[in-house]
Amino acid sequence: MAVARAVWLGTAVIRANERLVGGIALMVGAMLFYLAMLDQGQVAELLLASGLASGNHLHEFFHDGRHLGGVPCH
Amino acid sequence: MAGTSAASPATERRVVWPGLGWLRVGLLAGLAGGLGAAAFNGLLGERVLGEAIRLEEAGASHPIAIGEPFSRGEQQGGMIVGELVLGAGLGLLLAGAALLAGTGFVGTARRAWLIIAGTGAWAFLALPAVKYPALPPGVESPLPIETRQLSYLVLVGAGLLGVVLARLASLYLRRWLRPVAAAIAFTLPALLALALLPAEQTVTAVDADLLVRFRAAALGSQAVFWTLTAAAGLWLLEHSLGASFRQGRGRRPRAG
C-alpha cells in the first residue's frame, strides 16, 4: 500500500515537472519564433535604453528567411 | 524514466514516452528542419528572392536610400541563422506541446510526434498559405504590417485551436457524435478565421510569373522544413534516447 502510494506520488511529481518544463519550452520557443519571424524593431527599442542596439536590425538580418518562410515581413 | 529496464534487444522497436527527452527530440528535429529549409533556400529560394529585389530596385519610384544595414550577402547569411533560430523555436514549441499535452492526450510517442508536427504544418504552413500567400520583396500588401502579423497569428491560433478541440471531442464524446463533433471542431475555427480576417485583396504584382515562382519557392522551403522536422523527430525517438527508452520484447507499453 505504502509502495503504491509512493509510486503514485512519484509519477504525479514527474508529471507536474514535465508540465512545468513543457510550459517553459513553449515560452522559449515562442520567443525564438518572435525574434526570427515577427520582431519589427521592438527588441531594439528595448535595448536602445541600454545603448546596445538601434534600428530594425533584427528584421533586416532575418529578412530573407521571413520572406521565404511565408511570414509577413513588411 | 531512466529505470525502465536494461533493455533486451528491442526487436519491436516500440518507443516509450520520452518525458523530458522531448526537449532534445524537438530541438534537434527542428534544427534539422531549419538546416534543410536553409539548404533549399540556398539552392532555389534565394535566386528568386534576388530577382525580386533587383526588380524592386529597378522600379525607381521607390528609391533604396534608406541605408540598408546589411549587404545582400549578410542577409543571405541571416537567412541561414534565421532558419536555425526558427527551427529551434518551432522545435521547442512542438516539444513543449508534447510535454503539456501528455501521453493521455496525444497517445504514444511516435503517434504523438506525428500529430503534433502535423498540427504545426497545418497551422504554420497550410492555413497562412491559403489566406496570406508569401509575398516577395517589392510586392506590397495593401494591409499595414501590424494587421498582417496579427492576422497571421490569429490564423495560426485558429489552426491550433481546431486540433485541440477536435481531440477533446474525440476523447470525450461517443458514437455518432464523436466524428461529427471532431470534424466541426477541427474546421470551424479555421473557416471562421479564413472568412473573418481581412483579405489582402489585389496585390499589385510587378511580375505575375515571378510572384508564382516566389510562392512556389516559399511553399517548398516550408514543406522541406516540416517534412524534415517530422522525419528527424521520428528517427530521434527511435535512436537518440538510449536503450532505456526502447521497449523490450514482450513488454507492455508503459503509457496508455
pLDDT of residue B110: 92
Q: What is the pLDDT of residues B11-30, one digit of tens each?
A: 445 678 888 999 999 999 99
Is the separation of the CB atoms in B83 and B35 below 8 Å? yes
Mean pLDDT of B179-191: 96
Best of B1, B4, B93 to disrupt the A interface by mutation (most A CBs within 10 Å)?
Answer: B93
**Chain A residues near residue B153 by CB distance under 8 angstroms:** 38
Amino acid at B117: A
Nearest CA in chain B to A67: B136
Helix axes B72-101, B46-58, angle to 10 degrees: 130
Instruction: Sort out which chain B residues have CB atoms less than 8 A from A6's CB and list them.
Output: none
Grid coordinates representing B195 are 472568412
Q: Does B129 touch chain A (CB under 8 A)?
A: yes
pTM: 0.85
- Chain A residues close to B100, C-beta within 8 Å: 19, 22-23, 26
Which chain A residues have a beta carbon less than 8 Å from that of B142? Answer: none
Residue A30, exposed/middle/buried by CB under 10 A (0-12, 13-18, 19+)?
Answer: middle
Tell me: pLDDT of B256 over 80: no
The Cα-based distances of B41 to A6, A14, A68, B54, B59 in angstroms read: 53, 41, 7, 17, 25
Of A22, A62, A74, the CB nearest to B145: A74
Q: Rounded distance, CA B92 to CA B86, Å?
A: 10
- Plot region of A70 (φ>0 → left; ψ -120 to 50 → alpha; else → beta): left
pLDDT at position B16 is: 84
User: Domain boundaries in chain A?
Assistant: 1-27, 39-74
- On the question of pLDDT at B142 being above 90, the answer is no
ipTM over 0.90: no
Report pLDDT digits (tens) over B94-104.
Answer: 999 999 998 88
pLDDT of res. B242: 60
Q: Is B41 on the interface with A (CB under 8 A)?
A: yes
List CB contacts (< 8 A) between B85 and chain A: 32, 35-36, 62
CB contact under 8 A, A60 and B75: yes
Average of per-residue pLDDT across B177-190 = 95
What pLDDT sits at residue B61?
A: 57
Which residues from B are below 8 Å from A66, CB to CB?
A: 82
B223 part of contact set with chain A, CB < 8 Å: no
Q: B79–A74: do the CB atoms touch at under 8 Å?
A: no
φ, ψ of residue B196 in degrees (nearest 5): -95, -25
Task: Show contacts of B166-170: CB within 8 Å, 24+ apart.
Answer: B167/B105, B167/B106
pLDDT lower than 50: segments of chain A: none
Q: What is the pLDDT of residues B29-81, one digit of tens each?
A: 999 999 999 999 999 988 998 888 888 877 655 555 456 778 888 888 889 99
Asked if the C-beta of B164 comes within 8 angstroms of chain A's C-beta atoms, the answer is no
C-alpha cell at B19: 518525458
**Where are the domains positioned within chain B?**
1-60+71-140+204-256, 147-202
Backbone angles phi, psi at B12, to 5 degrees: -80, -20
At residue B249 the predicted structure's pLDDT band, cuts being 50, 70 and 90, is very low
Query: A interface mutation test: which of B24, B56, B85 has the most A CBs within 10 A?
Result: B85
